[in-house]
Structure 1
Amino acid sequence: MESTNHAISLTNEDLAPVKPQERNWKAMNFASIWMGCIHNIPTYATVGGLIAIGMSPWQVLAVILIASLILYVALALNGHAGAKYGIPFPVFIRSSFGVVGANAPALLRGFVAIMWFGIQTFAGSTALNILLMNLWDGWGTLGGDWNLLGLHLPGLISFLLFWVLNILVLHHGMESIKKFEVWAGPLVYLIFGGMVWWAIDIAGGLGPIYAQSSKIASGDIFWVFTGAVTGIIGIWATLILNIPDFTRFAKSQKEQVKGQFWGLPGTFALFAFASITVTSGSQVAFGEPIWDVVEVLQHFDHPFVIAISVITLCVATISVNVAANIVSPAYDLANLFPKWITFKRGAYISAILALLTVPWKLMEQASSIFAFLGTIGGALGPVAGVMFADYFIIRKRTLVVEDLYKMNGIYSYYKGYNYRAFVATIIGAFISLIGQFVPEVKFLYDISWFVGVIAAFVIYTALMKLHPPAAEVTEDSKAVFSGKAG
């Protein structure tokens, strides 16, 4: 592609397709990304929260396995375009929402990622705070009763320190993230392996842990189960959208598909086993489940064990934060202002905005996390539905990459916006979220991600077939739009 053909408002070096010789990520790189992403404090709290609401260990394990397989399929499918064309999510989504309209879903996804960056940063800082209390006897009372919106001075300082650690990983952009994940992903197994051993020991073996029965009424288990699957998917609803930001660096399509399979269902199953064992073990030992991994650490009485555990937890949290919660908003902001914002500048801006989200309020109890995840799934599910429909049904996996960077190409639609994508997204979000406000259809909200994806997929496909866009610039473009391209 000749850069002179591109609208300056639509591209910069970070948004342009990755050159074939620079696509060097192998299956291990994708697997290590997921190893690092899954093993983190909020995910542990979510899995542990399922035990806390009364599900049996075996039911929770089934929830994780089903959710991880669904996630794998969605991620592999949406990552196809990134691996094939080397383009990031905000560019890929221009084919469905329009070259200008793509900014709307990209910013929505970026906003959610920034919220999660704040949550993960605070979660990691709580572990760091424990380490500092063990190193300094007076740390916990520093600042007296002073607090910022409920967060006392030691917690605030820990939060800011941990925030800085996240920023340091971004120094060399995507390449530094790739290198960090290669060793950070496997490392986090150490802490969770040790916690599993501890839980088995205090519970008197695996038998008492997995013998615990469900406390949920048989008539309610179906909706509780499907709601739990939706909640787990909701954690990664954002990454489903922007997985092309990573697969664009794949050496081949096979590498991203294979790597994500190794890293997601397999890793998630091991993580679920560890989380369930620790949470249920604490229930056997203490009479109630401890779904906060940081609280579990407080039961250890050896300073060295606590220090190693906290450091590993911090590494795990940084791993998921930079991969899942910085890459997307960095590209999304670059897509909005490509002339002024590069990937690294977008990452720094996103991290600064995360400071303003007051994440400690979102982490006060498990129910607030699940409510947040349900809303995320309902809002972002329809965007994924539109992307699936456009790429696989309308485009037949064929894009005119040149036109993704033009204001007058086939993806310009009407003044840069494709109304069909917006209509499908809005209706899909309405259907999936209405149950949050109307008790009679609450079941739709309980499975909001699935409802949103299916509704938007069907509506978008119908609108594109019934009222196809008129903008067809070249013969090649016509062939792609009609699905007749090779």
Structure 2
Amino acid sequence: MSIEKIKQPAAGLTNKDLLPLEQEQRTWKAVNFASIWMGCIHNIPTYATVGGLIAIGLSPWQVLAIIITASLILFGALALNGHAGAKYGLPFPVIIRASYGVYGANIPALLRGFVAIMWLGIQTFAGSTALHILLLNVWPGWGSLGGDWNVLGLHASGLLSFVFFWAIHLLVLNHGMESIKKFEVWAGPLVYLVFGGMVWWAVDIAGGLGPIYSQPGKFHSFAETFWPFAAGVTGIIGIWATLILNIPDFTRFAKTQKEQIKGQFYGLPGTFALFAFASITVTSGSQVAFGEPIWDVVDILTRFDNPYVIALSVITLCIATISVNVAANIVSPAYDLANVWPKYINFRRGSYLTAVLALFTIPWKLMESATSVYAFLGLIGGMLGPVAGVMMADYFIIRKRQLFIDELYSETGRYTYYKGYNYRAFLATFLGALISLIGMYVPVLAGLYDISWFVGVLISFLSYITLMRLHPPYPAAVPVPYAVNVDK
């Protein structure tokens, strides 16, 4: 496939970064995809989530089973939704033009981008608190820098830590996706050093793995365990539901379809199981050491006396935070913003704009009421599961994995629908979001919310297929002279 074959793309629908990649540009192998997930999974919020599952009464073995189940489902969803990216070399906001329309695609893309920018700010602030601890150990007077001066409640030392940590992200983005690829290759494995050391500490302090993994949970029968187990699986998937959408932004660089599938398999189930083992072991070890299970890995680090241990751990955690931020919270908004204003924004400009917008989220104020922030982001994120359902229904069932590349960049082709919008996709998304989230407000339907991602994907998947068949769009019947049919 050659980008020159695209005939007269509309100026408002394309730029260099939105065009399909040439084969020689697709250089990512399995190790690159595996390293992306190694870097993404090993982060502070995921650690807290795993620890939280133990806190609600699940046994270590039950939590491990939840992680393995969720990671296998995640792998399936990512491999499926990443298929079009690897086959056609297209990014996420271009692929969803096939289902939502050439202009309608901007709405779910911007929604995905908004969630990512919010999380970028929150994750950057979380990482900067770890950096702040390191600086306090190196220079005890760091905390009193600037006296009482503050910006919206954040003191000078905290603000400088935040801005410095934020600026490191810009260095990683210096050479676009190629620099991200190189960074993730070594950043992901490096995180194992810290968590490996913490596991050794936890096993030592607890007197072995036996006391940790012999702890019983409070749920014993199948009936008692099913809903907490299902909710735990949904919660883990929910953390990565956004990346399920924009995984084509990465798989478009895959050398072959097999490389992205193998890489995601190596990087997800196995890596996630190891991370869960580490999180469970450290959380339980902290209970033995400090008398209570500590979910926050940064809080655990503050309780160590050895400055070298703290320094190594903090540096590695900062690298892990940058790794997940770049992959999950910068790449997608960069493409999403470029899709809306392709004439003015390319991938690099979109990356920098994303980083700047994250500053204006004022994350330290958001974190003052973290519960409401997470609930708000969870509500928006709950709407993105149905988008994944629509994408997969359109690509695998309606299109049979065949996309007409020319028309993804045309204002008059089959993906234009009505004035650039496909009402069927939006109606299916709305139905999926409504039914999956209604349990938040209707107690009798709370069970649906506990498994909201599954409900949202299934409802939107079936609704979209039904609507497309009951009222098929007219342009779909018009023959088109050129279509790419490449399956690797």
The TM-score with structure 1 as length reference comes to 0.95
Q: Distance in 1 between matches of 2:171 and 2:84?
A: 30
- Residues 213-260 of structure 1 deviation map (CA, whole Å, 9 limit, x = unaligned): 214586653222211111111111111000000000100000000000
Shift of 1:171: 0.7
Q: Verify the 8 A CA contact 2:338 2:350 in the aligned structure 1.
A: yes
Shift of 1:285: 2.3
Aligned pair in 2 of structure 1 residues 153, 59: CA closer, same or farther (>3 Å)? farther
Aligned pair in 2 of structure 1 residues 224, 373: CA closer, same or farther (>3 Å)? farther
Per the alignment, residue 156 of structure 1 pairs with: 159
Per the alignment, residue 49 of structure 2 pairs with: 46
Shift of 1:186: 0.8
Shift of 1:202: 1.3
Q: 1:169 aligns with which of 165, 169, 172?
A: 172
Determine helix, strand or coil for the equivalent of 1:407. coil
Per the alignment, residue 313 of structure 1 pairs with: 317
- Residues 293-342 of structure 1 deviation map (CA, whole Å, 9 limit, x = unaligned): 10111122111111111111111111111111100000000000000001
Aligned pair in 2 of structure 1 residues 478, 445: CA closer, same or farther (>3 Å)? farther
Q: 1:274 aligns with which of 256, 271, 278?
A: 278
Aligned pair in 2 of structure 1 residues 302, 379: CA closer, same or farther (>3 Å)? same
Q: Verify the 8 A CA contact 1:127 1:294 in the aligned structure 2.
A: yes
1:324 to 2:311 alignment: no
1:426-437 paired onto structure 2 within 5 Å: 426-437=430-441
Per the alignment, residue 290 of structure 1 pairs with: 294
Determine helix, strand or coil for the equivalent of 2:140. coil
Q: Verify the 8 A CA contact 1:209 1:281 in the aligned structure 2.
A: yes
1:95 to 2:132 alignment: no
Determine helix, strand or coil for the equivalent of 2:14. coil
Q: 1:394 aligns with which of 377, 398, 402?
A: 398
Aligned pair in 2 of structure 1 residues 211, 152: CA closer, same or farther (>3 Å)? farther
Per the alignment, residue 259 of structure 1 pairs with: 263
Q: Verify the 8 A CA contact 1:230 1:446 in the aligned structure 2.
A: yes
Q: Verify the 8 A CA contact 1:95 1:404 in the aligned structure 2.
A: yes
Judge which range, 341-350 or 149-158, deviates more.
149-158
- Residues 446-483 of structure 1 deviation map (CA, whole Å, 9 limit, x = unaligned): 11111100000010000000000011475247999xx9
Q: Distance in 2 between matches of 1:461 and 1:287?
A: 54
Q: Verify the 8 A CA contact 1:231 1:373 in the aligned structure 2.
A: no
Q: Distance in 1 between matches of 2:202 and 2:91?
A: 42
1:228 to 2:228 alignment: no
Unaligned 5+ segments in structure 2 are: none
Q: Distance in 2 between matches of 1:472 and 1:264?
A: 37
Unaligned 5+ segments in structure 1 are: none
Q: Letter of the 2:346 partner, please give it.
A: T
Per the alignment, residue 386 of structure 2 pairs with: 382
Q: How many residues align?
A: 482
Shift of 1:134: 0.2
Shift of 1:378: 1.8
Q: Distance in 1 between matches of 2:133 and 2:188?
A: 22
Q: Distance in 2 between matches of 1:463 and 1:28?
A: 40
Aligned pair in 2 of structure 1 residues 80, 4: CA closer, same or farther (>3 Å)? closer
Q: Distance in 1 between matches of 2:395 and 2:7?
A: 27
Q: Distance in 1 between matches of 2:148 and 2:441?
A: 39
Determine helix, strand or coil for the equivalent of 1:171. coil
Per the alignment, residue 78 of structure 1 pairs with: 81
Q: Letter of the 2:281 partner, please give it.
A: T
Q: Distance in 1 between matches of 2:54 and 2:300?
A: 15
Q: Letter of the 1:343 partner, please give it.
A: F
Shift of 1:356: 2.2
- Residues 164-189 of structure 1 deviation map (CA, whole Å, 9 limit, x = unaligned): 11111101100000010111111111
RMSD of the TM alignment (CA)? Answer: 2.1
1:451 to 2:446 alignment: no
Per the alignment, residue 242 of structure 2 pairs with: 238
Q: Distance in 2 between matches of 1:200 and 1:361?
A: 37
Per the alignment, residue 337 of structure 1 pairs with: 341
Aligned pair in 2 of structure 1 residues 63, 377: CA closer, same or farther (>3 Å)? farther
Aligned pair in 2 of structure 1 residues 180, 422: CA closer, same or farther (>3 Å)? same
Q: Verify the 8 A CA contact 1:231 1:370 in the aligned structure 2.
A: no
Q: Distance in 2 between matches of 1:423 and 1:235?
A: 25
Q: Letter of the 1:116 partner, please give it.
A: W
Per the alignment, residue 416 of structure 1 pairs with: 420
Per the alignment, residue 9 of structure 1 pairs with: 12
Q: 2:35 aligns with which of 25, 32, 35?
A: 32
Q: Verify the 8 A CA contact 2:406 2:483 in the aligned structure 1.
A: no
Q: Letter of the 2:34 partner, please give it.
A: A
Q: Distance in 2 between matches of 1:390 and 1:195?
A: 45
Shift of 1:371: 3.5
Identity of aligned residues (%): 73
Q: Verify the 8 A CA contact 1:18 1:248 in the aligned structure 2.
A: yes
Judge which range, 206-215 or 265-274, deviates more.
206-215
- Residues 99-157 of structure 1 deviation map (CA, whole Å, 9 limit, x = unaligned): 00000000011111111111211111111011000011112233445544443332222
Q: Verify the 8 A CA contact 1:84 1:248 in the aligned structure 2.
A: yes
1:142 to 2:145 alignment: yes
1:120-135 paired onto structure 2 within 5 Å: 120-135=123-138
Shift of 1:420: 0.1
- Residues 338-368 of structure 1 deviation map (CA, whole Å, 9 limit, x = unaligned): 0000101111111111112233455568866
Per the alignment, residue 110 of structure 1 pairs with: 113
Q: Letter of the 2:30 partner, please give it.
A: A
